[in-house]
Structures are given as C-alpha cells and as structure tokens.
Amino acid sequence: MSATTAAGSLLKRQLKEIQTCKDLPGISCGLVNDSNIFEWEVMLMINDDCKYYGGGNFRARMVFPPNYPHMPPSLTFQRPIPFHPNIYENGNLCISILHPPEEDEYGYEAASERWTPVQTPETILISTISLFHSPNDESPANVEAARMLREEREGKHKDFRKRCRKCVRESLGED
C-alpha cells in the first residue's frame, strides 16, 4: 500500500469519526470535492460564551499532505477571515501543532509542541476553537490584532472587541 493510499484510508476514517461524534459541538467537516479526501471544508461554530468571537461561524479549509500523518495539514480560514492574533491576513492559521516536526530554528517552540503523528484533525480543530477562546498574543501571525488585544487587556480601549464582533457579524452574513 502506498503512503498516499494509507493516508487516504486514515483520513476517511478520521472524517467519519468527526462527522458521527456527538462530543464535538461546534465542529462540522466535509469534503470540498467528493473525489479528494485530502481537502476538507470545515465550519467552526463558536459558542456564545466566547468573549470575543461568540456566535461566529467561521469557514476554513484543511488540506492534508500526501505523507500525512507524518507531516501536518494546513488550515486556512475563508472569507470573512477572522481578525485574530493567530490568523494571518491571508487566512492561514498559525498554531504550534501545525508546524513541521523538527526543532524550531528560532528556538521559540520545543519540538514537543510541534506536529506529531498522534495529532488528528479532531485535535487540531479542538485546539483551534480553544484559540478563539484564548488568543495567543505572544507569537502573533497578525501583529495588529495582538497589539490591540494587549491594549484592551490593559484597559486602554475596546477596539479589539469591536473588530472581533464585526468579524462575527460578517461570518453570519450580517455585514
């Protein structure tokens, strides 16, 4: 069996598990194209108790490499892209578990924080929802969002919350 065939079989099983799991509220997954198991369409519905993004429905694409699970997938948010410290302006999510399994050349992350084959699409999506509840402004993908979040935490203004609420409204088709 080729690596691509093995990866495809694993992904079919993992997609079915997510689609049938009752313990994953707020996560919906399907294929972008029925003939390609390596590209998933994801919807993350953020529950209302989330301080900044509550009520938002954010669409993303998860693309798996042919050598999955040895290398991580990418997760890219579709328009409207959430204004978030850990999401680049092009929609790419920046989270340690999606970084390749090697030593960080800058020494910021330990190898244990990066991708390992024990991660699954489910753990990635749960971690992503967790980032909506607790944005990481320490190593931002979106520097402006991180700065605004820090300033809001310091009580300087509420601009970050306003930008997030605008993203939530856009995600619901209201803006």
Catalytic residue list = 94
CB 110 within 8 A of CB 157: no
What is the rounded radius of gyration, in angstroms, for the C-alpha atoms of the chain? 17
Task: State how far the Cα of 128 lies from the Cα of 74, in Å rounded to an integer.
Answer: 12
Structure tokens at 81: 């892209």
Task: State how far the Cα of 153 lies from the Cα of 156, in Å rounded to an integer.
Answer: 8
CB 94 within 8 A of CB 86: yes
Count of other CB atoms within 10 angstroms of residue 141: 18
